[in-house]
């Protein structure tokens, strides 16, 4: 049973679902509903070729406690009825935590894809979700050397850890050609390859804090006077801009885009400014410099390699950081594996369970 609920999880699940099917395993996908609108959910299933969810819980909105509690309430009887051999969870969202917690209490083995990441900022809900999920999980599927080492430092035995690489790298390799063939997003918005900046902003730390959001808006607006800046606008960010009374004048805000359009925008950007963990990595996969609009990152290897730089809102001059990063490149390396993480995940699951 695969538990997903948010855009990054759909992307990560796509290569794993293909590998599970190729390995003769039966997968049942449960969509919690955390990302519920068509632009943030349905289009990803269509474009990525993910099997339709067997169950849709319809849980969205509300605070962390209400959302996670509603997911738990819905998942527990579903898991009891379906009795999966494994529950597979991804990343660090409320859907991740609810899936791991529900399965653990029912003594169903949990496998966590993207285990071992740490930002070392306990104020982030995602950090809390990661830590709890890792320590509930029976099989920790790590993407990097650093993630593996952090789990060991936290006392998790090697027998529960398998370093597989990053499934988002699998997806980037698989879908790059498809995006080139099918996406017309640059032409649609009059963008020239290599001549614009792509921005994404969605984290609650940035959208809910007027000072941080103001710093990001001002920085992007200043850069947009010099280079086109395009911002696929997350529903949370759109609402926050209205709530705080912040207007975008030069920045070109567009509706959320599907995965193939996002890949095209990322591949051809001169620079990406983002607070998304997944987009930081996608920038690296496509050889595009990145400025991360956060105080820290769980993907520290990208900073070490010079592909990414941190620009904490309110403490850094966002526009200056973007200007300095334009045209830069980092060092080589393969921190995320060789693009076969999904195959290693299936191999890690198979010896632990006899499939019919």
- At 44 the pLDDT is 77
Number of other CB atoms surrounding residue 80 within 10 Å? 11
Torsions phi, psi for 231 (to 5 deg): -130, 95
How much of the chain is helix, strand and coil, in % rounded to 5?
50, 10, 40
pLDDT tens profile 264-290: 999 999 999 999 999 999 999 999 999
Work out the mean pLDDT of the chain and round it to a whole number.
94
Per-residue confidence band for 41, with pLDDT thresholds at 50, 70 and 90: low
**pTM, full prediction:** 0.89
349 close to 25: Cβ distance less than 8 angstroms: yes
Structure tokens at 270: 């001169």
Contacts of 205 (CB under 8 A, 6+ apart): 123, 124, 212, 275, 294
Please state, in angstroms and as integers, the Cα–Cα distance from residue 168 to each residue in 25, 28, 39, 67, 138, following that order.
21, 21, 20, 26, 22
Which helix (H) or strand (E) is 199 found in, with range?
strand 197-200
Flag whether pLDDT at 355 surpasses 60. no
Which band of pLDDT confidence, cut at 50, 70 and 90, is reported for residue 35? low
Q: Which residues pair with 182 in a beta bridge?
A: none
How far apart are the C-alpha atoms of 320 and 322, rounded to whole Å?
5
For residues 231 and 199, the answer to whether their CB atoms sit within 8 Å is yes
Distance CA 271, CA 203 (A): 19
Q: In the predicted model, what is the mean pLDDT of residues 104-122?
A: 96
Q: What is the pLDDT of residues 240-254, one digit of tens each?
A: 999 999 999 999 999
Residue owning tokens 């105080």? 295
pLDDT tops 70 at residue 111 = yes
316-331 per-position pLDDT tens digit: 999 999 999 999 999 9
Q: Which residues are catalytic?
A: 202
% of the chain beyond a pLDDT of 70:
96
Angle at 353 between CA 347 and CA 355, to 5 degrees: 90
Tokens of 259: 């995965």
pLDDT at 351: 66
Residues in the chain: 356
| pLDDT for res 17 | 97
Rounded to 5 degrees, what angle do the CA atoms 55, 277, 187 make?
A: 85
């Amino acid at each position: 049973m695969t538990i997903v609920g948010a855009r990054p999880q759909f992307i990560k699940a796509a290569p794993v679902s293909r590998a599970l099917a190729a390995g003769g395993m039966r997968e049942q996908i449960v969509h919690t509903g955390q990302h519920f609108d068509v632009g943030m959910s349905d289009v990803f299933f269509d474009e990525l070729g993910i099997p339709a969810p067997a169950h849709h819980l319809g849980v969205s909105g509300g605070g962390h406690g209400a959302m996670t509690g509603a997911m738990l309430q819905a998942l527990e009887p579903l898991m009891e009825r379906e009795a999966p051999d494994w529950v597979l969870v991804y990343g660090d969202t409320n859907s991740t935590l609810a899936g791991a917690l529900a399965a653990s209490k029912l003594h169903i083995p949990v496998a966590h894809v993207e285990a071992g990441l740490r930002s070392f900022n306990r104020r982030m809900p995602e950090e809390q979700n990661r830590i709890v999920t890792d320590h509930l999980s029976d099989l920790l599927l790590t993407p990097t050397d650093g993630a593996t080492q952090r789990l060991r430092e936290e006392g998790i035995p090697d027998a529960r850890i398998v370093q597989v690489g990053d499934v988002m790298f699998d997806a980037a390799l698989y879908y790059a050609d498809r995006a080139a063939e099918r996406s017309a997003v640059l032409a649609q918005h009059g963008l020239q390859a290599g001549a614009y900046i792509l921005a994404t902003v969605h984290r609650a730390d940035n959208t809910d804090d007027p000072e941080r959001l103001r710093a990001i808006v001002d920085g992007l607006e200043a850069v947009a006077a010099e280079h086109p800046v395009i911002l696929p606008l997350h529903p949370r960010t759109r609402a926050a801009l209205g709530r705080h009374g912040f207007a975008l004048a030069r920045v070109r805000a567009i509706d959320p885009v599907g995965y193939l359009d996002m890949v095209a925008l990322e591949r051809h950007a001169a620079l990406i400014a983002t607070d998304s963990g997944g987009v930081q990595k996608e920038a690296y996969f496509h050889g595009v410099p990145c400025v991360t609009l956060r105080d820290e990152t769980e993907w520290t290897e990208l900073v070490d390699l010079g592909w990414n730089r941190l620009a904490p809102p309110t403490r850094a001059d966002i526009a200056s950081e973007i200007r300095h990063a334009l045209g830069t490149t980092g060092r080589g390396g393969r921190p995320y594996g060789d693009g076969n993480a999904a195959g290693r995940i299936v191999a890690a699951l198979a010896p632990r369970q006899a499939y019919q």
